[in-house]
Amino acid sequence: MKVLVVYYSRTGNTKLIASEVAAALGADVEELKDRKNRQGLVGWMNSGRDARRKRPADLEPVTHDPAAYDLVVLGGPVWAFTICSPTRTYALTHRDSFKRVAFMCTLGDYKYARKAFAELNEVTGMEPAATLGVTEGDVHDDHAEALAEFVEALNHAHLVG
């Protein structure tokens, strides 16, 4: 099975998790690039506002066609209790190209993961094969078990491996 991991990362946390997921799955990787400057305090505040208002992001063109993959893992940080604007924009733009999806996110508190995954489910119109949420505290500490469970769930669904 061909797998593509697509993610957006403002601070590098999601990038780290996405790279580990891609390595574990033998997947290709697509990092979403937002043309809007989201760095610093002002960027952080604008990011939360854009996510809350569901404003689309102005993304640079992607290099991988998601229709060429059996599974697309969509990932991004949770902003203002919902999935980030760049990941939402990508999911909306390419939703008709997905055969199967899985979701991952980085967040401050696990209680927001369910809402972010529900939003991705609504945007893609698809139930995820598996989900992975990693808190900011666990990104650089202890997430190996959660990552292994995510990969195992995808293997069990006969999507990879």
Residue 161, in any domain of the structure: no
Considering the entire predicted model, what is its pTM?
0.91
In the DSSP assignment, the letter for residue 29 is E
Residue 82, in any domain of the structure: yes
Residue 29, in any domain of the structure: yes
Burial 17-36 (b: 16+ CB within 10 A, else e): bbbbbbebbebbbbbbebee
Looking at the structure of the chain, the number of domains it has is: 1
Residue 9, in any domain of the structure: yes
Residue 148, in any domain of the structure: yes
Q: What is the CATH number of the domain that holds 101?
A: 3.40.50.360
Torsions phi, psi of 107, nearest 5? -160, 165
In the DSSP assignment, the letter for residue 69 is -
Contact 100, 159 (CB under 8 A): yes
Strands (DSSP E) contained in 32-147 are: 71-79, 82-83, 101-107, 131-135
Per-residue pLDDT band at 102 (split at 50, 70, 90): very high
Residue 56, in any domain of the structure: yes
Average pLDDT rounded to a whole number, residues 50-75: 94
Average pLDDT rounded to a whole number, residues 53-61: 92
Note the pLDDT tens digit of each residue in 109-152: 888 888 899 999 999 999 999 999 999 888 888 899 999 999 99
Average pLDDT rounded to a whole number, residues 19-37: 95
Range of the domain at 146: 3-156
